Chain A
Amino acid sequence: MKHSTLWDVIVVGGGHAGVEASLISKHLNCEVLIVTMDVAALGRMSCNPAIGGLAKGQIVREIDVLGGKMATFADQTGIQFKTLNKTKGRAVWSPRAQIDKRLYERTVVREIKKQNINLLEGEVVSVSVSGEKISGVKLRSGETLRTKSLVVTSGTFLSGIIHVGDRKILAGRMGEERAEGLTESLVSLGFRSGRLKTGTPPRLNKHSIDWSKTQIEEGDKYPVPFSYFTGDFKPKNELCHLVNTNLNTHEIISDNKNKSPMFSGDIGGVGPRYCPSIEDKIHRFSQRGSHSLFLEPEWENSDQIYLNGFSTSLPEEIQIKALREIDGLEKVEFFRPGYAIEYDFFPPAQLKNTLETKDVSGLFFAGQMNGTSGYEEAAAQGLLSGINAASYAKEKEPLVLSRSSSYTGVMIDDLITKDTLEPYRMFTSRAEYRLMLRISNTADRLQEDSSKHNLLPFDKRNILLNVKSKRTKINNRLKTSIKPEHISLKIKIPQAKPATELIKRPGFSIKDLPINFYEESDALPLWLVDDILFDVESEIKYEGYIKRHLKEIEKLKKHEKTKIPKTFDYNSIKGLSKEAIEKFNLVRPETIGQANRISGIKPSDSTVLIINVLK
């Protein structure tokens, strides 16, 4: 590797964000280099051994259509698959898989090697700019590298501090060095940084658990993969188990909560509300007598069990003592205690909707450093930043996803317009057009963007085209009428009716129609055909609702893309409230649409802004 090389894209970090960023920009014909502190930790899952889940499963499939790899990796390394929320409606269905973490890392490394992506082990300590453009990075070794664009995905590593009770360890992750200097370098360029924290539960020794006292959790009988390109799917189906905390556990934790740095005030960073530590849960929901804890294998036949639901930073001996009160865990032993980590993040309002920074062109931020939490959130950002870094290097149009197209679009828009005070995790309720963002119509939603930006290789693009034509065919057939004598099951109809009319009835499924309406021989795997049928059915059943969504989208379009000049002076505008002026100055929204979504902006402020921008 010649160090005078001018790279198209340098990616700092080899976590889930960095992996997607580098793979996609390579696919887009860029000269790519990953610089990461530990080459052996590529694609490492720092926390739970699972991918997908509520709202996150949808993101994984979006990544798939947009040329990312997480879906495929998960399908190849999953040991139990389950679709959540099946009884709650069609749009909130979310797939989740338990993952063999070791296999996952190996699979990632194999792919990086296969794609001939250049790897360099090292620590980036500063970035260099020329004018307002990124020009390169400097490593701790003193080496400098030149690049057209830079994607930083530093995860939890920047000035990371691990807390276990009152023990403090300077690290980026347990057992890995932290990164120093990069924060200061970015701050000296004018970026704002902040402090966040997150925690992880203890890892238990499988043989110290009395499994006969646990409840069993099985995977789905008919599992569905994440990726459209997985083909026929017969994954492993390992069991998971569940135990429940009791009042004794709670008492031990409450009595010792001042030994948790969260409560003692040792940790300044803000932690997530939705993944609270066990001490937090017991403190805040004191009326609950019990919490469920999930025992998840970290890999196939793993001796190491991840205790989902028991994230904590209490001293190790307290963790053990509290857990031993639980049925099944009376003799539990740890491989590793739970811990909390504090790290630097960069409030993402400093980014454009392409994930490029507003002030330094060619510089992109992605993943946990943007204040998010979760593998899927990190991977989706990594993917988008990789696409846009490549577009930047190659002087092509960037890819911006709208809120009505995808969870990824919702996430990025939220990040750049909302004040991030705590780690951001995806929820279906963040999507105002939720009924349109179904796992089962992901291809439909993103195919156009994907092919316009050349994100998929030829064979995969073809599979999506097959999916599309299958949909169209079925939809056309459903428009034809069906005669009373052809319909034997379930309902009687007095005269011929279009099949769509029947599907709209509650409880009537597309498969209640004569078989020729939906079945034919084709090349698609069975699960995918079912997925398509289900979605066609959903679209018909939800037609009225989808129309209402569309109407809303149309209504908002008017000012959504109206650009606000970069130098717009909010201070001089009469009628804007003081808070609004402050927030607009902080976020510097690119469009009226973004301005309207900044939290705390009143309608009167947005009216005043519109009039002033338009005048």
Chain B
Amino acid sequence: MYDSHTIVAQATPFGRGSVSIIRLSGEKALLIAQSLASDSMVLRDRVVVLSSVFIDSKKKIDEALFTYFRNPNSYTGEDIVEISCHGNPVIVDSIIKRACFLGAKIAEPGEFTKRAFLNGKLDLIQAEAVGDLINSRSEEAALHQNKNLSGSVSSTVLKIQKDLLSILSSLEFEFDVSELDTHLPENVNNYLKVLKNSCLKVRSILNSYSMGLAYTQGLRIALVGKPNVGKSTLMNCLLGENRSITSSVSGTTRDTITSEITLSGVPVLLIDTAGITNTDNPIEKEGVLRASKEIERADIIISMSSPKIKKIETKHSKKTIHVYNKTDSIKAGLVKKPSYFYISALKNQGVDLLLERLKLLVTENNFSTDSTINNLRQKDALEKSLSSLTSALNILKNNKPELELVAFEIKDSMNFLSVFLGKVNSEDVLNGVFSNFCVGK
């Protein structure tokens, strides 16, 4: 159930761009679009029309392209009109306000997708992928999401389900049709094979999870070290080096600076922290505390040292890159450790090598599977499914396996895969039994 009112929102990201798209969806979409445009405009299904846009009866604010998608053949399954106007926030704002005056309501986040879902236009996994698509910034991430949208995760999971269904059917045949009380070892071997294989596949999708997360929220890279080691200088250097700076926000505290950059298409948050000291000064103390928190939250840590300033000792198991800064200030006789990067942040020497290493690290999590998943619910379902599969395997390895428990675990695992896909099925098992077997007696 949802309110049937017509909704409006900007469909392209906020901020200036060359074009902004405003989307209207609902029963009144057509009517509202008509009222926005000049009287002579005629909208036809899937035909692009150029018209002036008025924000009151006389005041023309822009020229825009109008496209009408008749229900149910639209993204939401309702009537949709898309207005492509100039990407000026003032124009966009005025048009949306005018649409609201004419009877539309501002869409809630995700409301278009929700309507699409309720109208049977998307399955759950597609709906979620769209949500992530809207949020993801970089082009590469968008590519990745599109794969998801076209259902490659779904199809991998469906394949696993199909394999599991076939052995479940064989088990159910044993319980419900075959009256012979014999364990067939070749059956058990086949069960083992399929289960092992399914475990591998689920695990591999799970592994890709951290990658999926990276695409939508960004990996966190923290620069840490003692005061004056050159953290801020390196940060500036990295930001300068990389031209795809998207925003520069000062941290919530006066001493933690966060900037977003893109490395190999992966959005990354660079975090400059306060130098860590033993101090009694309460403000500095607070900064140190924040820095330690950042170390905890980070995915990758750049731990810095320089002549006369030692690196800090921390107890964490994060991926750490050791950087020795200010090499320009040493005349000679530096003994280099193999795993360290030696740079001069000030003179921009050696920083390119460091950058290469970072790029490698952020994409390294991309395991063999082409599937990526993007949210906790799905990860959770996969983990549970895997755990049931593992239990099934363990029971089967027993001397006299209780087949009904194996069946229980497989069913459980399949249920979680269904949760993952946002679907349920029930008669499938029996259908499987009867399409695959002769019923003997």
Contacts and interface: CB of A to CB of B under 8 A. Distances in A.
A615 B441 contact: no
A50 to B, nearest CB: 11
A427 B398 contact: no
A577 interface: yes
B112 to A, nearest CB: 14
Interface in B256-313: none
A92 B404 contact: yes
Interface in A488-503: none
Given A274-B439, A276-B439, A545-B408, A428 B434 contact: no
B1 A87 contact: no
Contacts, number: 108
Interface string A273-305: 111100001001100100110100000000000
A53 B2 CA distance: 50
Contacts of B172: 427-429
A144 to B, nearest CB: 43
Nearest to B440: A292
Given A54-B176, A87-B182, A428-B176, A506 B398 contact: yes
B1 A612 contact: yes
Chain B contact residues: over half helix, strand or loop, or mixed?
Answer: loop
B426 A604 contact: no
Interface in B90-124: 117-120, 124
Contact size class for A? 35 or more
Contact of A292 (B118, B182, B408, B441): B441
A89 B424 contact: no
Nearest to B173: A429
Contacts of B441: 292, 294, 308-309
B439 A275 contact: yes
A291 B440 contact: yes
Contacts of A612: 1
Given A288-B438, A603-B422, A430 B430 contact: yes
Given A85-B181, A292-B440, A608-B118, A548 B175 contact: no
A574 B402 contact: no
Interface string A152-179: 0000000000000000000000000000
A89 B438 contact: no
A427 B429 CA distance: 11
A611 B404 CA distance: 37
Given A85-B181, A604-B118, A91 B404 contact: yes
Residue picked from A294, A418, A430, most chain B C-beta under 10 Å: A430
A558 interface: no
Contacts of A55: 176
Given A288-B438, A292-B440, A574-B1, A434 B404 contact: yes
B123 to A, nearest CB: 9
B250 interface: no
A59 B375 CA distance: 44
A265 interface: no
Nearest to A281: B438
A435 B412 CA distance: 13
A89 B1 contact: no
A545 B405 contact: yes
A87 B438 contact: no
A602 interface: yes
A545 B117 CA distance: 35
Interface in B389-441: 398-400, 402-405, 408, 412, 422-424, 426-427, 429-430, 433-434, 437-441
Interface of A: 53-55, 84-92, 273-276, 281, 284-285, 288, 291-292, 294, 308-309, 418, 427-430, 434-435, 506-507, 542, 545, 548, 573-575, 577, 597, 599, 602-604, 608, 611-612, 615
Given A54-B177, A89-B402, A602-B120, 5 more contacts: A85-B181, A88-B403, A427-B176, A574-B1, A575-B1
Q: Which 4 A-B pairs have the closest CB atoms?
A: A89-B404, A285-B438, A611-B1, A427-B176
Interface of B: 1-2, 4, 117-120, 124, 172, 174-177, 179, 181-183, 398-400, 402-405, 408, 412, 422-424, 426-427, 429-430, 433-434, 437-441
